Chain A
Amino acid sequence: MRVIFKTDYDQDLRLFRHGGAVLWYAVLGAALLLAPWAVGEYWLSQLAFVCVYGMAGIGLMLLSGYAGQISLGHAAFFAAGAYTETLLLTHGWPFPLTLLAAGLLAGAVGVAIGLPALRLSGIYLAIATLAFAFIVEEILARWESVTNGNNGLSVPVARIGPIAFDPSGRLFYYLALAAVVLLMLGAINLLRSPTGRAFVAVRDSEIAAQSMGVNLAWYKTVAFGVSAAFTGVAGAFYAHKLQFISPEAFTLVLSIELLVMVVVGGLGSLHGAIYGAAFIIVLPEAIGVAKDHLPASIAGQPGLKSLVFGLVVIGFMLFEPLGIYGRWRKIQLYFQLFPLYRRATFRRQRSYLRTERLR
């Protein structure tokens, strides 16, 4: 077992916890850089999707996993990013600038929804964000002069100078990879800062955080804004990847998919956001493969995907609330401690009904 002794204050500020981590991240980085030569065009495209969902996952993880606020309306921020990107590109703005604008505008929308959210918590917040997402969806469908309504918009190809980022090509994959790495570094740095610590304090106990001088209103708004901005950037990439956007792409189902992503990945870990993104992309593929081996009466069912989806969510919540990341940590610990691992190490505390009701 690797025991890390704290011998230096700078250790708390380092990006990697120990030398081994640097090595493994370097291996992962190299593998991702070489991936376009190792996999076919289809899987490269799926990898790019993992990057796109990963960006949104990081954004939602900051909000839900670290600041502890539930959002059932992240599709709205996703849509804000996608539509901003498309409209600005169509109006002739240069590409990297549109990406920035997509993030900023989605962030502004996030702050706007975050403001009423200050007075709400728990379930009220979830319902408010849900309502907000429905309203945004309706606006997208009805504001035809700008969004072209349900007919949707086609998305121009992103280009910087002479370089065009073809959505199915290698360059686009590298662009998405670079973006997800940058956002990840941004999120890690944010979480190491006082702001990030305040997020965690708000999540663990609002009353305790307030008593320590954390301004709840401010940090909840910041969490919403940052999360929405990250999701907006993801939305912009999503628009490029699909090459066509319409309100149907940004429904409640997308919001729930994003939420499932962070829950299955593992709440409260940035690794989890990426695992969750990979999971969301791999699950339909796995079902597709499984269909070949199932009897036709089961394989032909249209509802199979959502059945598996629902069962997976329930299963994770019941048996592995820490998600894929939690399972990975347990496996890691099992081998590190080899014959001495005890299941009880990670046992959930039985808590008597934890009330959130205001009384």
Chain B
Amino acid sequence: MEVAQFTQQVVSGIAIGCVYALVALGFVLIYKATEVVNFAQGELLMLGAFLGYTLIVMVGFDFWLGGLLAVALTAAIGFALERTVVRPIVGQPVFAIVMVTIGIGFVARSVVTMIPGWGVDTHVIRTPFANRTLTLAGVVLSQDHVAIIVLTVALCLSLFGFFRYTRLGVAMQATSQNQLAAYYVGIPVKTVFSLIWAISAAVAAFAGLLLAPIAFVHANMGFIGIKAFPAAVLGGFGSIPGAVVGGVIIGAVEALAGFYLPEGFKDVAAYIVLLLVLLLRPQGLFGGVARKKV
């Protein structure tokens, strides 16, 4: 039974970890391309979940169709945010960008509470796999958790394919490696930036929809985004596979800390891991050793 219990904890941890991983993935996408750290990533997740709630529960679309629309709408929001608010401060010190994205977070959280039907209450999205379990080799798993893991893997694979094989994906990689060079070979760098924000917002909305069945949809659910920082740092801030692995590890560590350690450790486990990583291996698991050019 010990092993089964351990496995269950690990699987539910990994499920939450997948959400962290997706949010971290969003950070890393934006950071790699534009060197902006988006502190509002969690709020994009929250907006995605609320849009999903509106379309699926209030309007009554099918879960998959509504989810897809919500993801597309959030991508449009990300695109618009980049155009209007973020672009004027690209090239300003880190400080300015951190403050602006924090400001975006504040605005998003309060706007959500003002929209009729959303408000400050908590909401639930019903999924096709809610409250069902799956027994695998004597281990009872919630289908919600399994679905999250499967969908995350699917999303990561399709993102990998996108960046590897499509023209736009390769252009994005080029932009994040060297903007000036990308500009010279004819890549519209500014449009690429906007599109990266759109993709990142879409990934966040996807994470929000995955999170909605196991947590509630409410205005402060975006604070989960803060837990994605440890994930991103653990993986090495500029590495996309690192962000995913980091997220999964953080989720598992958190679940195990909640189960085996005294109360209170669950909430800070992620941050303790973060500080340890920064102390012992600041480049993260997947980051290369770096030298600053003068």
Interface positions of A (Cβ within 8 A of B): 64, 70, 116, 119-120, 122-124, 126-128, 130-132, 134-135, 138, 141-142, 207, 252, 256, 259-260, 263, 267, 301-307, 309-314, 317-318, 321, 348, 350-359
Contact = CB atoms under 8 A, between A and B. Distances in A.
23 contacts: A119-B282, A124-B237, A127-B274, A130-B226, A142-B263, A207-B294, A260-B99, A267-B95, A303-B110, A303-B120, A305-B110, A307-B107, A311-B107, A313-B100, A318-B85, A350-B91, A353-B91, A354-B91, A354-B93, A355-B35, A358-B290, A358-B292, A359-B293
A223 to B, nearest CB: 15
Q: At the interface, is chain B mostly helix, strand, loop or mixed?
A: helix
Given A132-B275, A310-B103, 14 more contacts: A120-B282, A128-B274, A131-B271, A131-B272, A259-B102, A260-B99, A306-B106, A310-B106, A311-B107, A313-B102, A317-B96, A357-B238, A359-B290, A359-B291
Contacts of A304: 110
A141 B264 contact: yes
A267 to B, nearest CB: 7
Query: Looking at chain A's contact residues, is the secondary structure mostly helix, strand, loop, or mixed?
Result: helix
Nearest to B284: A124
Contacts of B271: 131-132, 134-135
A214 to B, nearest CB: 16
A321 B107 CA distance: 19
Contacts of B70: none
Contacts of A123: 31, 37, 94, 98, 237
B264 A138 contact: yes
Nearest to A122: B94
Contacts of A350: 91
Contacts of B120: 302-303
B17 interface: no
A310 B105 CA distance: 7
A70 B107 contact: no
B279 interface: yes
A113 to B, nearest CB: 9
Interface in B230-263: 230, 233, 237-238, 263
B278 interface: yes
B35 A120 contact: no
